Amino acid sequence: MKKGNKQNKSATTKVIAADLPANAGYGANDPKGDDLARNTEDSVGEYLTTNQGVRINDNQNSLKAGDRGPTLLEDFILREKITHFDHERIPERVVHARGSAAHGYFQVYESMAEYTKANFLQDPSVKTPVFVRFSTVAGSRGSTDLARDVRGFAVKFYTQEGNYDLVGNNMPVFFIQDAIKFPDLIHAVKPEPHNEIPQAASAHDTFWDFISLMPESMHMIMWVMSDRAIPRSLRMMEGFGVHTFRFINERGKARFVKFHWKPLLGLHAVVWDEAQKISGKDPDFHRRDLWEAIENGDYPEWELGVQIVEEKDEHKFDFDLLDPTKIIPEEIVPVRRIGKMTLNRNPDNFFAETEQVAFHTGNIVAGIDFTNDPLLQGRLFSYLDTQLIRLGGPNFHEIPINRPIAALHNNQRDGFMRQTVNRGQTSYEPNSLRGGCPFQAGADMSGFTTHAERIDAQKIRARSASFFDHFSQATLFFKSQTEPEQNHIVRALRFELGKVETPHIRERMLFLLAQVDKTLANRVADGLGAKVPVKLDRPMNMSFPADADPKKFQPKRATQAIETSPRLSMVDNPNFPKDNIKTRKIAFLVADGFDDVAVSEMKRALLTAGAAVMTVAPRLGMLTGANGEQVKADLSFLTGTSVMFDAVYVPGGEASVVLLKKESESSNFLNEAYQHCKTIAASGAGVELLERTGIIRDSSGDGQEANPSSAQAGIITTREDDVAGIAASFVEGISQHRHWQREMTL
Ligand code: HEM
């Protein structure tokens, strides 16, 4: 498909920056696009050549001694081609291997100079290019998008003063408090080493064994067992920097800051049954959704939010700001939205961009600084280290997607695959032979200076006692969920622990869950046919030094300033009113003889509200309506299923409904949509299809007499031909995303 915002690129294989017009191939005002254009090629109208530029005459046959004879070693064309192919793979990321990415830009709403001197947060007229990669954590590169997992949310800002990476997740806390536990966590969650089972799933013994011995993970466990771990779309999830960082202003004044990304499309999830089905029907569901939205010009947007805490307030909370298993509830420190990010261009090449991009928490710019969060401190080491092997040496900053748009000059030299041809005699500093160049920048010339934090400490392997509250915020999270969301957490835990084969691991987990919420633990225990143990045979917290007093390390519970935080819920979150259906996908179930008028009226209403409509029919090809109108079947019941859609509409047309009734898939489609609590509408004879599935009971009346409870729960019907009357209710129903009251009656 042609990209909306792209012009034709120059058809030259050897692209030299000077040959290209500014913005070649990319939209205006895209300095990173200009930069990437230096390395793009598209072969259009060109001869096939070797890597040495020699034109190839025969790409079908290798060079042989006779047409039935052996291949000759001399065949440099064959050797070059196969050798390159043999070396095409690089190691996948050790975590977050499965991902998809997009280009875009960020604009600040107003100058943040009072808080930070970061150049990209000063001028609302400046568009800073970004490249954003979303990912799952545990699965391999080819795993399903719909795994129950944390989603990575990594943003590279190509600022005029260097690259700034905000390498976050879609959950604001993490499993562990200290980086030294990260390899253990990842070894536990990845497929088990003896048989490499299961792929992209935490539902297995080693993960829960580790978690059951790590009470500090309980807050994160609540998030991962919630619907946050199965987003409807990457475009419909929040992002978080997780750690507390620092903002530093021009005067050197520092403040603590937590970063948030707030999606303008709201927060939505699928249900677990749906996630599992999508994993089979379309494992690329999220990747495809992101790609298609951008191709269609539905550019995803997030607002960047900050929670700012004065340094003097560092210790005023009932948790430690440096502890990555804690949030600052938004009710205590509100999130101020300071700018907007828009993703408006898909990558040209998955490998060159999405796979080779290297994010690093250590990539910061003047005006932003780290804190002593011990997880962040470990990350500062890990990313560059892992990328040295993943990308094959110390020059990966020269890979086009990684290189800054800011000028880059230093005395680093050589190494595998060095691209830059550094001129001159000197590669050291200070020097006199080159007039001292390149020279250091003063702080007033945007030279990076580290915040001069006062440290007066003993060198010690220890964890601060202020990190010992492992349960209060887990309880806060659970209590802040609506009833259906709590039910989903219970079911997720029953599923995950139900897959655990070792009884004592389940029991320990039930004990830990009881520390979060007794009802939660009892409900999970019921599903497992187990009892919550009253005490444990070994100390709850095993993560303490070998010769330490275990009592000292038992988790403590702090008093929370608030009992619930509605902003932790997805369903009832005041930050995300459910007031639109933009980019939601609606299926129209149709066959020959459909009611053309109803279809076009309903389509118009949905498109006007910003949704997308697709027809699903017994067969592919053109369909003819009752009045002779032709529509293309986008999908058949074999290629399209309910889990790909947010809602479904069955228009009337006697002949169409008769044909649909003959297809058992049409009933499956509707039943599944019903089970997954989606909005379902039908008009005219289409209502009969809903009756046949049992979704509505009453076949006499006019649809208003249909099951009254279902009428309130996103089932919208009219036996009249005029669909205008129900279109508004349909749109309203879809905006609610799901009708959980229906789930309760299942
Ligand atoms: C000590 C703790 C952690 C360590 C050692 C660690 C290490 C790593 C490593 C080695 C990678 C692969 C990078 C690559 O190959 O390019 C990675 C990727 C990633 N990590 Fe972490 N990580 C840690 C914690 C976290 C946390 C707390 C977050 C979220 C705030 C996070 C977010 C990410 C993301 C989003 C990616 C994927 C980046 C991409 O899209 O390329 N990590 N991490």
pLDDT in tens, 3-25: 434 333 333 333 333 343 444 44
Q: Is the CB of 152 under 6 A from ligand 1?
A: yes
Number of the ligand 1 atom closest to the C-alpha atom of 169 = 29
Start-to-end C-alpha separation, the chain:
42
How many whole angstroms from 152 Cα to the centroid of ligand 1? 8
The secondary structure element, H or E, covering residue 605 is: helix 596-608
Question: What confidence score (pLDDT) does residue 28 get?
Answer: 67
Q: Is the CB of 154 under 6 A from ligand 1?
A: yes
Q: Is the CB of 363 under 6 A from ligand 1?
A: no
Q: Is the CB of 167 under 6 A from ligand 1?
A: yes
633: phi then psi, degrees, rounded to nearest 5: -75, 115
C-alpha to C-alpha distances, 646 to 278, 641, 703, nearest whole angstrom = 13, 11, 22
**For the segment 563-617, what is each residue's pLDDT rounded down to a tens digit?**
999 999 999 999 999 999 999 999 999 999 999 999 999 999 999 999 999 999 9
How many whole angstroms from 279 Cα to the centroid of ligand 1? 24
Q: Is the CB of 392 under 6 A from ligand 1?
A: no
Comparing 174-178, 476-480, 661-665, 741-745, which segment has the lowest mean pLDDT? 741-745
- Residue of the nearest CA to atom 15 in ligand 1? 93
**How many Å is the Cα radius of gyration of the chain?**
29
- Residue of the nearest CA to atom 14 in ligand 1? 93
pLDDT at 161 over 70: yes
Question: What confidence score (pLDDT) does residue 127 get?
Answer: 97
- Residue of the nearest CA to atom 24 in ligand 1? 379
Tell me what the mean pLDDT of segment 470-476 comes to: 97
pLDDT at 108 over 70: yes
CA proximity to 308, closest of 286, 281, 334, 274: 334
Residue 454 in 3-state DSSP? coil
Residue 79 in 3-state DSSP? helix
**CA 640 to CA 674: how far, in whole Å?**
16
Q: Is the CB of 389 under 6 A from ligand 1?
A: no
- Which residues does residue 587 pair with via DSSP β-bridges, in sequence order? 614, 648
Contact 387, 363 (CB under 8 A): no
Question: What confidence score (pLDDT) does residue 546 get?
Answer: 77
Number of the ligand 1 atom closest to the C-alpha atom of 153 = 35
Choosing from 90, 94, 96 the residue with most ligand 1 atoms within 8 A of its CB, the one to mutate for a pocket test is 96
Cβ count within 10 A of residue 613:
19
**For the segment 285-330, what is each residue's pLDDT rounded down to a tens digit?**
999 999 999 999 999 999 999 999 999 999 999 999 999 999 999 9
Q: Annotate 370-405 with three-state secondary structure.
A: CCCCHHHHHHHHHHHHHHHHHCCCCCHHHCCCCCCC
- Residue of the nearest CA to atom 37 in ligand 1? 96
Percent of the chain at pLDDT exceeding 90: 88
**CA 185 to CA 220: how far, in whole Å?**
12
- Residue of the nearest CA to atom 27 in ligand 1? 174
Number of the ligand 1 atom closest to the C-alpha atom of 179 = 1
* Predicted TM-score of the model (pTM): 0.94
Question: What confidence score (pLDDT) does residue 26 get?
Answer: 62
Tell me what the mean pLDDT of segment 19-35 comes to: 66
Tell me what the mean pLDDT of segment 92-114 comes to: 98
pLDDT at 710 over 50: no
**CA 651 to CA 638: how far, in whole Å?**
20
How many whole angstroms from 283 Cα to the centroid of ligand 1? 23
Q: For 609-685, where are the alpha helices, taking DSSP H only? A: 654-661, 664-675
- Residue of the nearest CA to atom 29 in ligand 1? 168
Question: What confidence score (pLDDT) does residue 15 get?
Answer: 33
Contact 392, 386 (CB under 8 A): no
Q: Is the CB of 291 under 6 A from ligand 1?
A: no
Number of the ligand 1 atom closest to the C-alpha atom of 240 = 30
pLDDT at 253 over 70: yes
Question: ∠ CA(495), CA(226), CA(543), 5° rounding?
Answer: 80
Q: Is the CB of 168 under 6 A from ligand 1?
A: yes
Contact 613, 638 (CB under 8 A): no
Contact 374, 325 (CB under 8 A): no
Question: What confidence score (pLDDT) does residue 745 get?
Answer: 46
Percent of the chain at pLDDT exceeding 70: 94
How many whole angstroms from 374 Cα to the centroid of ligand 1? 14
Contact 402, 356 (CB under 8 A): yes
**CA 337 to CA 63: how far, in whole Å?**
64
How many whole angstroms from 383 Cα to the centroid of ligand 1? 7
Cβ count within 10 A of residue 551:
7
Question: What confidence score (pLDDT) does residue 712 get?
Answer: 58
Residue 247 in 3-state DSSP? strand
How far does CA 191 lie from the centroid of its chain?
21
Amino acid, single-letter form, for residue 66: G
Tell me what the mean pLDDT of segment 372-394 comes to: 98
**For the segment 124-143, what is each residue's pLDDT rounded down to a tens digit?**
999 999 999 999 999 999 99
Contact 609, 298 (CB under 8 A): no
pLDDT at 645 over 80: yes
Residue 179 in 3-state DSSP? helix
698 — pLDDT class (breaks 50, 70, 90): low
- Residue of the nearest CA to atom 2 in ligand 1? 179
Q: Is the CB of 121 under 6 A from ligand 1?
A: no
Contact 695, 710 (CB under 8 A): yes
CA proximity to 341, closest of 463, 281, 259, 273: 259
How many whole angstroms from 304 Cα to the centroid of ligand 1? 20
- Residue of the nearest CA to atom 30 in ligand 1? 168
Q: Is the CB of 131 under 6 A from ligand 1?
A: no
Q: Is the CB of 93 under 6 A from ligand 1?
A: yes
Catalytic residue among 103, 119, 163, 169: 169
pLDDT at 200 over 90: yes
Tell me what the mean pLDDT of segment 464-481 comes to: 96
Q: For 148-247, where are the alpha helices, taking DSSP H only? A: 182-189, 205-212, 218-224
Q: Is the CB of 135 under 6 A from ligand 1?
A: yes
Q: Is the CB of 361 under 6 A from ligand 1?
A: no
Q: Is the CB of 138 under 6 A from ligand 1?
A: no
Question: What confidence score (pLDDT) does residue 407 get?
Answer: 96
Q: Is the CB of 707 under 6 A from ligand 1?
A: no
How many whole angstroms from 300 Cα to the centroid of ligand 1? 23
Number of the ligand 1 atom closest to the C-alpha atom of 181 = 1
Please report, to the nearest 10 degrees, the dihedral formed by the alpha carbons of residues 364, 365, 371, 374 taken in order.
Answer: 10
Q: What is the b/e burial string over 318-330, where b = at least 16 CB atoms within 10 angstroms of the residue's CB?
A: ebbbbbbbbbbbb
pLDDT at 148 over 70: yes
Contact 680, 714 (CB under 8 A): yes
- Residue of the nearest CA to atom 23 in ligand 1? 379
**For the segment 538-547, what is each residue's pLDDT rounded down to a tens digit?**
888 777 777 8
The DSSP output letter for 210 is: H
Number of the ligand 1 atom closest to the C-alpha atom of 378 = 1
Which residues does 299 contact at the CB level (< 8 Å), separation at least 6? 104, 293, 342, 343, 344
Number of the ligand 1 atom closest to the C-alpha atom of 382 = 5
**For the segment 405-462, what is each residue's pLDDT rounded down to a tens digit?**
999 999 999 999 999 999 999 999 999 999 999 999 999 999 999 999 999 999 999 8
Q: Is the CB of 181 under 6 A from ligand 1?
A: no
96 a catalytic residue: yes
470 a catalytic residue: no
Q: Which two tokens stand for residue 484?
A: 């259906």
CA proximity to 198, closest of 448, 501, 407, 439: 501
Catalytic residue among 96, 103, 219, 739: 96
Number of the ligand 1 atom closest to the C-alpha atom of 242 = 30
C-alpha to C-alpha distances, 114 to 136, 247, 312, 333, nearest whole angstrom = 36, 10, 17, 18
**CA 511 to CA 588: how far, in whole Å?**
48
